[in-house]
Amino acid sequence: MTNSARSSNENPTGSAYDAAINELNKLLLILENVTNSITTSKYNPFYYHGALPQFYLWVLFLSGLLLFAYYIPTIDNAYLSARLVNAWTSVQYITDKLPFGGIIRCIHRYAGDAMVIFTVLHAIRVWFTDRYRQYRWVQWVTGIILFLMVLFIGQTGYYLVWDERSLLLTRMTASALEVLPIFGGPLKTAFLNGETITNLTLSNFLFIHIGLSFTLLFVLWLHYVRMTRPVITPPPAINYILVASILLVAFMFPITSGKMADLNTAPTSFEMDWFFLFPYAFMSAVPLVVFWVGGVIIAFVALVLPWLVRNVSPPVIPAEVVIDKCTGCSLCYKDCPYQAIEMVPAPAGSRFKLLATVKTARCSSCGICVGACAFDAIDLPNLTDSDVTAQIKALVEAK
Amino acid sequence: MIKSGKDLLIIVLAASCLIVSLVLQPWAELGFNGDFPAWISWLTGWLGIDKFFNWLGNCQFAKDIQEFLSQQGAQANFGEYAYCLFLFVALIVAAIAIILIGREESEEKLLLPVKK
Amino acid sequence: MADKKRVITLICERAADVNDIVGPSGLVNGMPELGMVKFPCSGMIQPLMIEAALKAGAEGVIVCGCQLGDCYYREGNKMIRERLLGERPPGLKKTVDRRRVMALWLSRLQKERFLSESKEFIARLGSMEKVEAKS
Ligand code: HEM
Ligand code: SF4
Ligand code: SF4
């Protein structure tokens, strides 16, 4: 009888989906074991999966600030027309004339690519290790939103360069927006900041690029709000490797600019950046209707994934506070990893000031609060303190 | 002080990190030669670093780097891209050394300290 | 085996996978000196539980959680580690014999490591017993 502890990770229903995720989880475990044997757990990048994209975000902010200092968001600049000064020539100036300007540009671009890669790896890890549903749904949903935002920010970055690729991407986006029902026209006007491409268009792109980047910080706050002490900084040795790898790519693939965009030409193809521009490949391969319907379906399925498989998740049975034992010491509140405990004023007549209460929707049923409580005042209903002590006693005495 | 092969490796890594960042990075930044008007006198006089840099610049690997970069489409500032390469080396070497030192602190087994 | 002393393992069900070696009674097959209590997370282990096991007559206690950094519930193994070391309340009482407590941080795939470490631990406790019996 002693083994009454539940074993929820032993595929609860045996569905095909569960079996597949189980296999993928095992694969990850093997990879992580190999990494542990090289780096030990202290430096295992898998254990900093969320901190890696966060680190690249800081790199992007810093390098972006440097580029912003010299970038001019116009397609031509009449009052300086003696020498044409526009977005493209300012980027050219940054790349060729400014000391280390080209390098900063490489760092900004490749850190963006790296952020996409590590965001996807982070999402894959939380998915395969079953860390994405139930009480974690807020992190998952904000994660998908973050990913879409990162993609769009990267794409606006590509418009800003104002070479032929930028022109083609801008036109493709405008015509894709135009076909949308009801909002199509206004969206296109909002995107171009007018009916056609003008100087105002590029200032709009710059505004979106920078504005959305700062909005990321707000959405990240939502991403983190249900986690106590989120791990957002990898150890320095890993940071060195993260920076070094972008530098190597910068050396291997220096950025070369395309031709300046010319509104009187109609470029038809461009060099692909698969990390940010893959939606455009999809767009040019299928009719626009298919692009929009397909895109919306994919995004929607990704957003509701935590609920699609809800029926196979073992139910989470939240921790319960034993009201007359709780002393209000707050230890459980400090240690709960999902911010699921709130300290409220104790009921009238209590000897203590505070009382712990469990916010059931956030609780993961991990029992960390049980380990934190020195007064046996909080319990998991399906494995109480007294169950544990009884099991221990029975085991010591078993024949 | 040097008790094992690992200690020796760490010292070698630290030394190569220093050499790369004190010699190769400035050399790349100067554009692969020692023609720099503002040298501190003891660096050129006593150390002869300008001559050393010029000699390095004539070595085959300096030419290889430049040829590789122009093949990859870099239009200018080859030295800056080479600087990236050397900074990459210095950072990776430093990271390996730090991990070699820090992995000692990592644990899979914890025995509680017995207080007397 | 009735009067042979026992070592109790308090283990996270996601750490070293021992499901196929634990019998219905909670004892490890072929190693009756080792008993297992499973938890949803090693962070649920309260130092009082370790004291309870030792008081009930266990020879030693092994705490086993996942690799540090890989807790499914984010921080559970760090919490119990700090509690064992006295860096986070609640800790072990001063009177607890620290030599009788060992913690292991092992991933799901490290069953063999778990078994070899526990055998070693049990042997060490055995020799400790002999020395103490003599003096
Ligand atoms: C901008 C990109 C992102 C950043 C910087 C980021 C960062 C983080 C960080 C630092 C954590 C905390 C890890 C921990 O301390 O345990 C985390 C957790 C999480 N993230 Fe993200 N994330 C990003 C995008 C995403 C995406 C695209 C998804 C999935 C669609 C996602 C899903 C999750 C989930 C489900 C958790 C909770 C994991 C747990 O509770 O163990 N995130 N994220
Ligand atoms: S079981 Fe306790 S520590 Fe874990 S999430 Fe619920 S309230 Fe927080
Ligand atoms: S640790 Fe226990 S006593 Fe302290 S606040 Fe939480 S439930 Fe109450």
Nearest CA in chain C to A132: C72
Please report the pLDDT score of residue A2 as a whole number: 34
Beta bridge partners of C104: B109, C64
CB B21 within 8 A of CB B90: yes
C28 in a structural domain: yes
Distance CA A97, CA C75 (A): 49
Ligand 1 contact, A213 CB (< 6 A) = no
Residues of C in contact with A365 (CB under 8 A): 40
Distance CA A84, CA A274 (A): 32
Distance CA A181, CA A197 (A): 22
Distance CA A72, CA A90 (A): 6
Burial class (CB in 10 A: 0-12, 13-18, 19+), A301: exposed
Partners of chain C (3+ Cβ pairs below 8 A): A, B
Q: Which of the 8 DSSP states describes residue B114? A: P
Q: Do A253 and B92 touch (CB under 8 A)?
A: no
Q: Report the pLDDT averaged over residues A160-167.
A: 94
Ligand 1 contact, A64 CB (< 6 A) = no
CB A125 within 8 A of CB A46: yes
Q: What's the pLDDT tens digit per position in A313-335?
A: 678 999 999 999 999 999 999 99
Tell me the percentage of chain A whose pLDDT exceeds 90: 82
Q: What's the pLDDT tens digit per position in A19-67?
A: 888 899 999 999 999 999 999 999 999 999 999 999 999 999 999 999 9
User: Phi, psi at residue A357, to the nearest 5°?
Assistant: -130, 145
CB A87 within 8 A of CB A202: yes
- Give residue C83's domain range: 7-134
Please report the pLDDT score of residue A38 as a whole number: 95
C38 in a structural domain: yes
CB A9 within 8 A of CB A128: no
Chain C residues within 8 angstroms (CB to CB) of chain B: 67-68, 81, 84-85, 92, 98-99, 101-106, 113, 117
Residue C97 has pLDDT above 60, yes or no: yes
Q: Report the pLDDT averaged over residues A159-179.
A: 95
Q: What's the pLDDT tens digit per position in C3-58?
A: 568 999 999 999 999 999 999 889 999 899 999 999 999 999 999 999 999 999 99
Number of folded domains that form chain C: 1
Ligand 1 contact, A227 CB (< 6 A) = yes
For A185, the enclosing helix (H) or strand (E) is helix A184-192
Better-predicted residue by pLDDT, A258 or A248: A248
Sequence-distant (≥ 6) Cβ neighbours of residue B88 within 8 angstroms: A244, A245, A247, A248, A251
Tokens 């970069």 correspond to B69
Distance CA A213, CA A217 (A): 7
Ligand 3 contact, A327 CB (< 6 A) = yes
Residue A110 has pLDDT above 70, yes or no: yes
Distance CA A334, CA C88 (A): 11
Q: Which CATH architecture has domain A320-397?
A: 2-Layer Sandwich (3.30)
Which two three-digit tokens encode residue A55? Answer: 């680190």
Burial class (CB in 10 A: 0-12, 13-18, 19+), A350: middle
ipTM for the predicted complex: 0.94
Q: Does C62 touch chain A (CB under 8 A)?
A: no
Please report the pLDDT score of residue A18 as a whole number: 82
Q: CATH number of A4-308: 1.10.10.10, 1.20.810.10, 3.40.50.720, 3.60.21.10?
A: 1.20.810.10
CA atoms within a 13 Å half-sphere pointing along the CA-CB vector of B58: 6
Q: Does C86 touch chain A (CB under 8 A)?
A: no
What confidence category does residue A82 fall into, taking pLDDT thresholds of 50, 70 and 90? low
What confidence category does residue A9 fall into, taking pLDDT thresholds of 50, 70 and 90? very low
Residues of A in contact with B106 (CB under 8 A): 40-43
C114 in a structural domain: yes
User: Phi, psi at residue A9, to the nearest 5°?
Assistant: -85, -5
User: Phi, psi at residue C68, to the nearest 5°?
Assistant: -60, 130
Tokens 């990267």 correspond to A154
pTM score, whole prediction: 0.94
**To 10 degrees, the CA torsion angle through A83, A86, A92, A93?**
60
Distance CA A95, CA A5 (A): 62
Which residue type sits at A209? H
Strands A320-321 and A378-379: antiparallel
CB C36 within 8 A of CB C43: no
C1 in a structural domain: no
Please report the pLDDT score of residue B116 as a whole number: 58
CB A63 within 8 A of CB A108: yes
Better-predicted residue by pLDDT, C116 or A264: C116
Which residue type sits at A345? P
- Ligand 3 pocket test, pick from A322, A344, A351, A378 with the greatest ligand atom count within 8 Å of Cβ, gives A378
Residue A394 has pLDDT above 90, yes or no: yes
Better-predicted residue by pLDDT, A8 or B76: B76
CB A20 within 8 A of CB A396: no
Q: Whose CA is nearest to atom 3 of ligand 3?
A: A326
Which residue type sits at C14? R
Q: Does A330 touch chain C (CB under 8 A)?
A: no
Sequence-distant (≥ 6) Cβ neighbours of residue A308 within 8 angstroms: A301
Which two three-digit tokens encode residue B91? Answer: 């950072």
Q: Do C67 and A42 touch (CB under 8 A)?
A: no
For A298, the enclosing helix (H) or strand (E) is helix A288-308
CB C86 within 8 A of CB C79: no
User: Phi, psi at residue A65, to the nearest 5°?
Assistant: -60, -40
What confidence category does residue A309 fall into, taking pLDDT thresholds of 50, 70 and 90? confident
For A51, the enclosing helix (H) or strand (E) is helix A51-68
Ligand 3 contact, A373 CB (< 6 A) = yes
Residue C131 has pLDDT above 60, yes or no: yes
Distance CA A48, CA A250 (A): 24
Locate the domains of chain A by residue range: 4-308, 320-397
Q: C-alpha A360: how far from its chain's center?
A: 25
Length of chain C: 135
